[in-house]
Amino acid sequence: MRNALLRCKSCGANYDARTPTFRCECGEPLDLVWDGGEGAAEKRTDRAIFFPFEEGEWVSLGEGNTPLVSVKDFADELGLADVQVKNESANPTWSFKDRGTAACVAHARALGFSRIGTVSTGNMAASVAAYGAAAGMEAVILVKGDTDEEKMAPVAIYGPTLLRVEGAYDKLYKESIRLGAELGIYFMNSDVPFRVAGSRTIAFEIAEQRGFSVPDWVVVPTSAGGNLRGIINGFEDLLSAGLTDRMPRFLCAQAQGCSPIVAAFDAGEERIKPFESPHTIAHAIENPFPPSGNRVLAELRRYGGVALGAKEKEIVKAQKHMARQGFFGQPASCVPLACLRNAREEGLVAEGSTAVLIMTGSGLKYTAAFQAHKLKWKDCKLKELAEKMR
Ligand SMILES: *Cc1c(COP(=O)(O)O)cnc(C)c1O
Ligand SMILES: [Zn+2]
């Protein structure tokens, strides 16, 4: 691994990236500062330039390079010039999490760790378990005591050390960090620096796929806030490398049922407060006290972004409408469409703009959402088939 810095954009502190540092002493998250520099002139955005790792440190399952697809129906409906879906369900474990996991695994290997871990029940758990398997590293996955079998099995299949832990979830998170440091396990929880650094590749790909023309808006379903921060950093890196000529604006999309960032944004606050009794079908974005929340607020204001919520009904409708265009995303990943609609209604996004919706994960990850839809089919006998099909 080459020499690089982790910087706190809040207090300005710098840390050596070749150490297992996961958070600033001031409590705010850290961002990778790395200007590989050379190669930018050739309009290259590959990891050799934008990450401080040696090629041998990477373990890839083929993450990234996901499709970016224009949906004319959405553009027409919303009065926009172009609406594109960045389909992150095309990743190895069907969510964008693989991008950050791959970067964290490279970092863990560079620092000599042989064990990795995470606290999660959803996409993160599956991603870390899969990359642990691929890298030949033990993956320690900690999940809440009430997690049901339907969620355990798709993680267990990769062969990690999977521990279902009784007790308070916030304490589990803190314990994982303490025990990780003590036992030498690289815990890649929600918004650790290299997870965020991995999400920059979403911005790199959007720029490349659009011929280095930056969209007006990028709409990101937001929970901890790491993915949105990574995408913002990616567009900053492109701009400072001279590959693009401006920043997009960002729409932080949350479910109204768990919208701590929207609440603080609307109140003009600089710091988020814990959201009381969160509840939403978009369970992948149900973090009531996002660790990157303060940072996201600052970045939104810096680039003229907004934070908006979507109602449960709007999320279900968006999931249906995405599917009717051929995109089956889990509820959280359809929140961007719902929020873009609200943003258009409120006049926050101008007519004729271009927008990219980040569809963060696959609909097959959360089949319980089928119950929110009135899905129909018909039964018939073989001899009735011709009649039914006429
Ligand atoms: C993790 C996740 C998110 C939220 O990302 P954050 O970095 O926590 O803001 C959104 N959608 C899906 C499908 C996820 O798995
Ligand atoms: Zn700091």
Q: Is the CB of 284 under 6 A from ligand 1?
A: yes
Ligand nearest to the CA of 10: 2
Please write the tens of the pLDDT for every residue from 81-110: 999 999 999 999 999 999 999 999 999 999
Enter the pTM of the model: 0.97
DSSP codes, 129-188: HHHHHHHT-EEEEEEETT--HHHHHHHHTT--EEEEE-S-HHHHHHHHHHHHHHHTEEE-
Centre of ligand 1 to C-alpha 378, Å, is: 36
The structural domains of the chain, ordered by start, are 68-94+193-372 (3.40.50.1100)
Ligand nearest to the CA of 23: 2
**Tokens, residue 79:** 């009065």
Q: Is the CB of 331 under 6 A from ligand 1?
A: no
Please write the tens of the pLDDT for every residue from 294-313: 999 999 999 999 999 999 99
Q: Is the CB of 127 under 6 A from ligand 1?
A: no
CA dist., res. 111 & res. 57, Å (int): 10
Taking the CA of residue 223 as reference, the ligand 1 atom at the shortest distance is 9
User: What average pLDDT does the segment 341-362 reach?
Assistant: 98
User: What average pLDDT does the segment 306-331 reach?
Assistant: 98
Ligand nearest to the CA of 11: 2
What pLDDT score does 167 carry?
81
Which residue out of 104, 200, 227 has the highest number of ligand 1 atoms within 8 Å of its CB and is therefore the one to mutate?
227
Count of C-beta atoms within a 10 Å radius of residue 138: 16
CA dist., res. 43 & res. 207, Å (int): 10
Q: Is the CB of 97 under 6 A from ligand 1?
A: yes
